[in-house]
A and B are shown apart, each in its own frame.
Chain A
Amino acid sequence: MSQPMTRGHVIMHTATFLQQNASVRDSPLEVESSLDLRTELESMTAAAFYPRHLHTELLALLATSRGTGGTGNDPGYTSILRCGAALLSPQNQFSVLLMKVLTPDLFIRKLPRFWQRDHGSSGRCQVEALDSAAHRAHVRLTGVAGYEHIGIFWLGWLGGVLRALTGSAPDVRQTGWSRDDSGPNEISYEVKWS
């Protein structure tokens, strides 16, 4: 069985976020990251797919680093949320256009396609229920065992896109991820937007 992959642009985004936000004193990317990750990052391209563990390592660094914008009782958690939301920033002109054409409803329906774009056939995203009239949906990620903190990263991204599309904060709750089990095989999202 081939190993799970993640697209370069997601990994590069997380690395850049970590580099730009972590305190200079910590510089986790230079000090704490593995040689494998540093070597891959040097020649990484946005389009290619890379082993998922590279992204997992970055998310773990983000969860434990200081100064990455984390707040409250669990700064690592909010750092990953912020990083996920920042993935929304336009990567190219097509992303800008896409945001102009998308509606919240269509965005939810296209979530499996977004997942497939960024992770290929590694893991799966399913929209199990979509009530367009009530602005509610139930989304499920499966096949993500060991992909630590992806649940929070995706939560941040999902919320960020919906906020940008509706102009107000959506209510997105996840079940599956916890501090004790940060890499479960399955994560569910209850999404409400106005």
Chain B
Amino acid sequence: MSSQVVREDSGLDLRERIVDALLTLTEVGFGDYTVELRMDFKTRHPLNGVFASLNEMIAAFGAEQEQSRAFRRELEDKLLIVEKQRAAIRELSTPIIELWEGVLCLPVVGIMDTARSTDMTNALLQAIVVKKTRYTIIDITGIEVMDTRTVDHFMRMAKSIRLLGAECALTGISPHIAQTVVHMGLDIDDIVTHRSLRDALADYVNRRT
């Protein structure tokens, strides 16, 4: 009778220990790797070995999780740097130069896309207002490709400039781009063009004197 009671007690104790362990393991299941299974050091219970192994595994998961967090932080820092660099490049890609009193020049180099065009227009319109500009020259000597969309960007830019009460001239159209524009039947009649930046500036000075 008494041995049966002992066995039942042991069974109860074993079940309780397993319940305790599983409760802790549910926390591991949630992703909490800071927990530990409680071991009974007073007895040489076979579960101690199992729990010790599980604790090692939890600790390993914890270490991996910490490492993954560190990688993530590193990646986020790098993304922040990339974003800052991108902003700096954006700034550098729209240099607005004050050539003369009331005359601004925007040299465009590279490829125009919608985002860049929007940035350029914003920066240019802002500068026109701040510097009380009367004449704006957009120099496209550095433009490699001119298509309908690029022309459209410039048309919109010129219209916005005129709305602010300033004149707008387009300079530096290469023979290749001129041919393309004609070949594609693009209409740039609304934009005043000059062969070079120098010509545009000379025209402005002549008209002022």
Instruction: Given A98-B23, A117-B26, decide whether A45 and B18 contact each other with a Cβ distance below 8 A.
Output: no
Interface core residue of B16, B18, B19, B20 (most chain A CB under 10 Å):
B19
The interface residues of chain A lying within 8 Å CB-to-CB of B25 are 94, 97
Q: Which B residues lie within 8 Å of A110 (CB)?
A: 19-20, 23
Query: Which of A19-27, A59-67, A68-76, A101-109 binds B?
Result: A101-109
Q: A1-25: contact bitstring with B at CB < 8 Å (1 yes, 0 no)? A: 0000001110000000000000000
Report the minimum CB–CB distance from A175 to chain B (whole Å).
27
CB pair B15–A101 under 8 Å, yes or no, is yes
**A117 adjacent to B22 (CB under 8 Å):** no
Task: Report the minimal beta-carbon distance from A160 to chain B, rounded to whole angstroms.
Answer: 16
Is B19 in contact with A91, judged by CB distance below 8 angstroms? no
Which residues from 1 to 22 on chain B have a C-beta closer than 8 Å to any C-beta of chain A? 15-16, 18-20, 22
In B134-189, the 8 Å CB interface with A consists of none
Most buried by B among A94, A95, A102, A109: A94
Identify A7's interface contact among B16, B19, B28, B30, CB under 8 A: B30
A102 (CB) vs chain B CBs: closest residue: B19
A181 to B162, CA, bound (A): 68
Q: Are B22 and A91 in contact (CB under 8 A)?
A: no
A92 adjacent to B19 (CB under 8 Å): no
Complex contacts, B27 vs chain A, CB 8 Å: 47, 117
B32–A98 CB distance below 8 A: no
B25 to chain A: closest residue by CB:
A94
Q: Bound state CA distance, A48 and B15, in angstroms?
A: 28
- B residues in contact with A98, CB < 8 Å: 19, 22-23, 26
Smallest Cβ-Cβ distance to B32: which chain A residue: A47
Task: Report Cα–Cα, A142/B19, bound state, in Å.
Answer: 24
**Which of B18, B23, B31 lies in contact with A47, CB distance below 8 A?**
B31
- Give the shortest distance, in Å, between A97 (CB) and chain B (any CB): 6
Contact of B22 among A45, A47, A101, A103 (CB under 8 A): A101
B residues less than 8 Å from A91 (CB atoms)? 26, 29-30
The interface residues of chain A lying within 8 Å CB-to-CB of B15 are 101, 103, 106
Task: Please state if A46 and B31 are interface contacts (CB–CB under 8 Å).
Answer: yes
**Given A101-B15, A103-B15, A92–B30 Cβ distance below 8 Å?**
yes
Residue contact B30 to A9, C-beta cutoff 8 Å = yes
A192 interface residue (CB < 8 Å to B): no
**B29 nearest CB neighbor, chain A only:** A92
Q: How far is the CB of B69 from chain A (nearest CB, A)?
A: 11
Using Cβ atoms and an 8 Å threshold, which residues of chain A touch B31?
Answer: 45-47
A140 lies within 8 A of chain B by Cβ: no
A98 to B30, CA, bound (A): 14
For the complex, give the distance between the alpha carbons of A93 and B25 in Å. Answer: 9
19 contacts between A and B (CB under 8 A): A45-B30, A47-B27, A47-B31, A48-B32, A91-B29, A91-B30, A92-B29, A95-B29, A97-B22, A98-B23, A98-B26, A101-B15, A101-B19, A106-B19, A109-B16, A113-B20, A114-B23, A117-B26, A117-B27
Chain B residues at the A interface, C-beta cutoff of 8 Å: 15-16, 18-20, 22-23, 25-32
The 4 A-B residue pairs whose C-beta atoms are closest, nearest first, are A92-B29, A47-B32, A47-B31, A46-B30
